[in-house]
Structures are given as C-alpha cells and as structure tokens.
Amino acid sequence: MVPQQAVWAEIDTPAPLIDVAQLDRNIAAMADAFALGPVSLRPHAKTHKCSAIALRQIAAGAIGITCAKVGEAEALAHPDIDDILIANEIVGPLKIARLVALARRSRITVAVDDAGNVAELSSGAASAGVTIGILVDLDVGMGRAGVATIEAAVALAHRVAGSAGLRFRGLMGYEGHVVDERALVQRHEGTRAALEKLSAARRAVEKSGLTVECLSAGGTGTYAVTSGWPDLTEAQVGSYVFMDANYRAIEGMEAFAPSLTVLATVMSRPTPTTVIVDAGLKAMGSEYAAAELLDFPQAHCIYLSEEHGRFDFPADPGLHLGDKVRVLPPHGCTTSNLHDRYYALREGDVEIWPIEARGRCQ
C-alpha cells in the first residue's frame, strides 16, 4: 500500500477526501440496521450530492434517494437512480416546470403542505401528461414546513387524491428538532413522540378511505428508532455516510466513523502550540460543531475564518510548514456543497468523484 502521506502529496489543499473503505462500512452498517426491519432505506443525497455515493447506497439495498431540491434531483437522476423523493415543498412556475420535465424520466415524489400548491402542481403535471407522487408533509414538532394538524393532513390528502396529474402516496414528517440531540434518551423520546403523531396521521388518512403506501421520516441520529417503527415504510437518513464532527459527538453513533475529511496544509506556525491550516469557512460547513483534526485528537479548534483554521495544542505537535492534516468538518452536508469533486482514496489509489449536485440549491 502506498503510504498515506505520499498519496496526499499529489493533492492540493484544501480538498475533500473520502476514505472509501470507511464510507462503505458506514453504508453497510446502516443497511444492516434496516435489513431485517419493516422500513426501507431512501438515503438523503443532500449530504454527499454525488451519484457515485448514491449508487453505492443503492447497491447496498436502498430503494432510491431523497433530495432536498429539484436541482439536486436533476443533477443526480441516472438510469440506476430513478426513484427520487424530493422531501420538500416545490413552489412556483419555474420550479414546477423543471419538476415536470424531471418526472418524464424519473419516478418523482414531492411533499406538499398547502392546497394552492397542490393546485399548481396538479395543473403543471396534468398539462404535461405526467404523474407526480405526493406526500403530505406533517409538522411533527420541528416548526418548519408541514401542516400542523392531523385533520389538515387528512383534508390535504383528499385534495391531492382528487387532483389530476398527482398520485397521493402517503405522508412524511421530519423530526429535525431532535435528530442531533446529544443525549440518546431524550432523542429517542422525542423521536417516538414525533413518529406517534405521524402514525396517528396515517391511521386517520387510512380511516378516511385513502391508501398510504409510503410513510417517510428519519435522519441519521434517530435511525435506531425509525428502523424498527412498523408504520414507517422508508427512512431519509443522510449524514451517516460521512459522520461529521456534529454527528460523531452524539450518543449512539458507534456503528459509524468519519469517512469525509478536508485535507489541509499547515501554512503558518506562529507559536509552537498553534497550527494555522489553509482550510476555513470556504472549505467546510462550520455550523453546529467545532472542526477537529482527525489524527490529532488533542488539537482544539480556536476558529475557522474564511480561508484559515486555527488549532491550538497542549504541546508542540511536531507539525511543520507544508505538512498535510485531515480536518474533520463540523457539518458534512454543507461541506460537500463547497467543492466540485471528492478525492476518493482506497488502498493508495485516488479516484475523482464529481459532486454533481454541488451548488444546486434551486
């Protein structure tokens, strides 16, 4: 095997590195967690934005992918990535025209929380002769999008079911308010409360005469609950592929380990115990946690500025100008969005994996 430092020497910095063996272990671990249960995996591609990774997830058993935006779905649609849930409300004529075009070549499902939006989706789909799958989005406690009550969900479900060009498929709810709660007990309690509301909505919709073929929820932090929740049909886990600093710090993530780091160069050594690297806010997403140095657990990130990271050490770490280090990003999902390609490393080989959906926020 080629020594790590020799491989790194050929890669300019900052650069997003993927440890392919660890990535595959993460994908396998999540697939295992869902393999025997009632719930299927539909991993959220917002985390990696990359068809090479989506294809590995599908090869491991995922039934399709979740996307956040029409632009992500456009960038990732592929003969083998053809069943896509856009887990978001898609509003306005420009986006709906693109959604309809996408629905000609892929099986597309989107979320709704508004009757007027149902009408514009129906009009766009029907006039183009396509069918768009619809999940009614229920707010399960996050306070973002979604209808607030089960009664409203039932009413909207019937409106969807009666709309040309749309197929009512079921419900979704995202427990984003608890998904990265540090303490496992509180996280699982909050998740169960959210899923109980979603289950109650499913029962109410079914009692009203509609079939619910899809009930979707879930993020990485809550997989131990969602994977065993009988009413769910699929889970939208995303961050487990990379295990960023934020997720690594919460309880219950022992099955996963970091696979994405940002390779950085030591560019200044102002004191024996301070290391300045050439990766900052423009090379990694900084919200929710502090950056770490993967191979130097004793390092403490003092700050990230736009193009610098400052790490202080309890004692001189023996790092020199030009040395390369791996920074564990605070937030993987916003790190992938800053780069055009991953450097995928496996046994001394480097492959370039394009991040096709980078910047596709529309």
- CA angle, 252 as apex, 246 and 253 as ends, to 5°? 55
Strand 300-304 with 309-312, pairing:
antiparallel
Instruction: Please tell me the number of Cα atoms within 13 Å of 312 on its side-chain side.
Output: 3
Tell me the closest approach of the beta carbon of residue 89 to its own copies, in angstroms.
Answer: 5
Between 33 and 327, CB nearer to its own copies: 327
In three-state secondary structure terms, 291 is: coil
Tell me the closest approach of the beta carbon of residue 305 to its own copies, in angstroms.
Answer: 7
**Binding footprint of its own copies on the chain (CB under 8 A):** 10, 12-15, 46, 68-69, 88-92, 94-95, 98, 113-114, 116-117, 120, 139, 143-148, 176, 265-271, 274, 276, 278-279, 281-283, 285-287, 305-308, 310, 321-322, 333-334, 337-340, 358-359, 361-362
Between 139 and 231, CB nearer to its own copies: 139
Q: How far apart are the first and last CA of the chain?
A: 42
Tell me the closest approach of the beta carbon of residue 229 to its own copies, in angstroms.
Answer: 23
Closest CA to 259 of 247, 251, 267, 250: 247
Tell me the closest approach of the beta carbon of residue 87 to its own copies, in angstroms.
Answer: 10
Between 49 and 188, CB nearer to its own copies: 49
Cβ-contact 7, 350 below 8 angstroms: yes
Cβ-contact 281, 304 below 8 angstroms: yes
Between 208 and 362, CB nearer to its own copies: 362
Tell me the closest approach of the beta carbon of residue 225 to its own copies, in angstroms.
Answer: 21
Between 59 and 97, CB nearer to its own copies: 97
Q: Is the dihedral of CA 324, 328, 329, 332 positive or negative?
A: positive
Tell me the closest approach of the beta carbon of residue 145 to its own copies, in angstroms.
Answer: 4
In three-state secondary structure terms, 280 is: coil
d(CA 362, CA 130): 21
Between 95 and 169, CB nearer to its own copies: 95
